[in-house]
Amino acid sequence: MVSGEARELMIIFRSYIQKVLDQWKKLKASLCKIEEMKKRIEELEYALQSCEHKIKFLEGSEERWKEQLYHSQSQIQNRDFIMGRAMAQVREVVDHLQIMAIQADVLSVKYVLESDRGQELASLLKEIKALSIRAKPYL
């Protein structure tokens, strides 16, 4: 038989073993949580890397778009400059045609009565006047 002292030791020993088992279960549960957290951290790191790659790609795209915008703006400025010069030249031509039309009127009156050649000249001058009138909308 077991003495009282031995019984007490066994009760203390069982209590101690139970505490150790409880702590071991808690440690095992904590270890499982740590492993789950490690997996989650790996997933998050992978997602972070993916986002970083996307950001780099988008930054590169942004630079290309900026370059393309700058190029387009430059082309628009060049086109506007050329269009401005062309419009100035058109205005000069229209002004010249108007002057020629006035001169044609004067000459046509003068040459209508003089000869066939004068009539041809008057006809040409009328055509110049018609061109002048058609050119006015381009001013």
Mean pLDDT in each 10-residue stretch from start to end of the chain (139 residues)? Answer: 80 92 94 95 96 92 91 93 89 82 72 64 75 70
Phi, psi of 3 (to 5 degrees): -75, 170
Provide the pLDDT for residue 30. 94
First to last CA, the chain: 128
- With 0.85 as the threshold, say if the pTM is over it: no
Segments making up each domain of the chain, as ranges: 4-138
Using CA atoms, how far apart are residues 132 and 75, in angstroms rounded to an integer?
33
Cβ neighbors of 108 (< 8 A, separation 6 or more) are 121, 122, 125, 126
